[in-house]
Homo-oligomer: A and B are copies of this chain.
């Protein structure tokens, strides 16, 4: 029942036309090894669900330059202005979502919630065309769940069942993305035996995780390094 696979084996799950969720806040908590593998993988026409879509030519930004991304769903593409340029040129679709709505919609996708009402964004340009509702005298907007075919996330430790723990602010979107895709690939820095993780401190229980991949690229004090 060991879920350990190589990055190359794991990436085969990603098919042309898929919606792929990718964890991370910038490079922090991003699955750098799997993103690297995605650049070598043939699938295209991807809808990428990711807060930033990397930086210009870096991380997911590399995949963007390869022309494999059809649509980007996220909250802050300011970190990669090529997204804006391509969007203005009509070359990609973009769905810009407030960051709280982004994470909540992914949570909803994983939790079997079809949609939910939030005040965030109500009455703004980002709520245009969305259903509104007055609740307790305040305006709310209906946001729909976001789901993916594949989620590629980054955790700190996994046991061989696929239970996960995260590290500091590298946690970010990874735990919710782990719940919201048909197939979940967790890239981790360390793999331990079953029973070594405290049952009270497991953040992502193994029922969410399909495959565990050992990380080869890590963000360290010296920047992104490739392990020997």
Contacts and interface: CB of A to CB of B under 8 A. Distances in A.
A115 B113 CA distance: 10
Interface residues of A, number: 25
Interface string A125-168: 00000000101101010001000000000000000000001111
Interface in A89-127: 104, 108, 111-120
B116 A112 contact: no
A113 to B, nearest CB: 5
Nearest to A120: B112
A133 B165 CA distance: 37
Nearest to A119: B112
A182 B114 CA distance: 28
Given A112-B118, A114-B117, A118-B113, A165 B200 contact: yes
Contacts of A144: 135
A167 B114 CA distance: 32
A220 interface: no
A69 to B, nearest CB: 24
Nearest to A111: B104
A204 to B, nearest CB: 13
